[in-house]
């Protein structure tokens, strides 16, 4: 069973007919979200599937490691959701994800925002000290499909990302190269870099193969 209809849900559609697995890919994904109602919707839906006798697969976020977001309503909510999943009586998997690169048309994701601004030749503001991690949706599904079927991974939380931390300024430079256009932006001295280690057990998996930021951005934005 797959709960949700977005980018991640689509990547795991092969589990749609499975009766023993719940791919929970529905809920709050916007790190700027503040709506109590939005948080409660995800919590209530998650609680519904926690009670079923199935493997529960939950997607969390690298934002839980970002010191600049530690007091945000979004991060507090995602940490609470992780705790709910971990307290389930049934088997579970938690995968913490960075910014996903894929075929999403959502204009509010960082990569789509930057690409759209560059294409439209519009001025935007960049946080000069901000760093982000990226991961292609196709890499995600390619690695995790086998992991979800392997009980030796169950009942743990895993961090999965490309292995290199990128300055947001560097992401803009890659997009400029791919789109063959110069970005128009102003920088402000804000933002932070934080280190996240990819889980060793995932890195040791035979299907663990990640492309560079340039490769994954070229796939979707060239």
Q: Specify the pLDDT at position 191.
A: 83
Consecutive sets of 10 residues in the chain, 222 residues long: mean pLDDT of each?
93 95 91 91 94 93 90 95 94 96 85 96 94 93 93 96 88 97 95 90 86 92 91
CB 101 within 8 A of CB 140: no
CB 90 within 8 A of CB 58: no
Instruction: Output DSSP code: residue 6.
Output: S
Q: Specify the pLDDT at position 77.
A: 96
Instruction: Output DSSP code: residue 207.
Output: T
Instruction: Output DSSP code: residue 204.
Output: T
For the stretch 88-129, pLDDT in tens is 888 999 999 999 999 888 887 899 999 999 999 999 999 999
Is the torsion defined by CA of 62, 54, 37, 101 positive or negative?
Answer: positive
Pairing status of strand 131-132 against strand 166-167: antiparallel
Q: What pTM did the predictor assign?
A: 0.93
């Amino acid at each position: 069973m797959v709960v949700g209809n977005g980018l991640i849900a689509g990547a795991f559609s092969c589990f749609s007919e499975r009766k023993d697995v719940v791919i929970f890919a529905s809920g709050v994904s916007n790190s700027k979200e503040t709506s109590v109602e939005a948080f409660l919707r995800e919590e209530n839906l998650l609680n519904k599937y926690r009670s079923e006798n199935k493997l529960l697969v939950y997607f969390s976020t690298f934002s839980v490691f970002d010191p600049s977001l530690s007091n945000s309503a979004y991060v507090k909510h995602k940490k609470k959701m992780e705790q709910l999943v971990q307290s389930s009586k049934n088997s579970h998997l938690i995968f913490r994800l960075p910014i996903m690169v894929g075929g999403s048309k959502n204009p509010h994701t960082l990569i789509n925002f930057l690409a759209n601004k560059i294409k439209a030749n519009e001025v935007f503001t960049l946080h000069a000290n901000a760093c982000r991690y990226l991961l292609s949706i196709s890499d995600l599904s390619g690695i995790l499909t086998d992991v979800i079927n392997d009980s030796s991974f169950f009942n743990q939380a895993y961090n999965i990302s490309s292995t290199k931390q990128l300055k947001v300024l560097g992401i803009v430079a890659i997009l400029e190269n791919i789109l063959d256009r110069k970005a128009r932006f102003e920088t402000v001295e804000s933002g932070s870099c934080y280190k996240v280690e990819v889980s060793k057990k995932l890195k040791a998996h035979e299907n663990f193969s990640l492309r560079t930021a340039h490769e994954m951005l070229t796939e979707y934005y060239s």
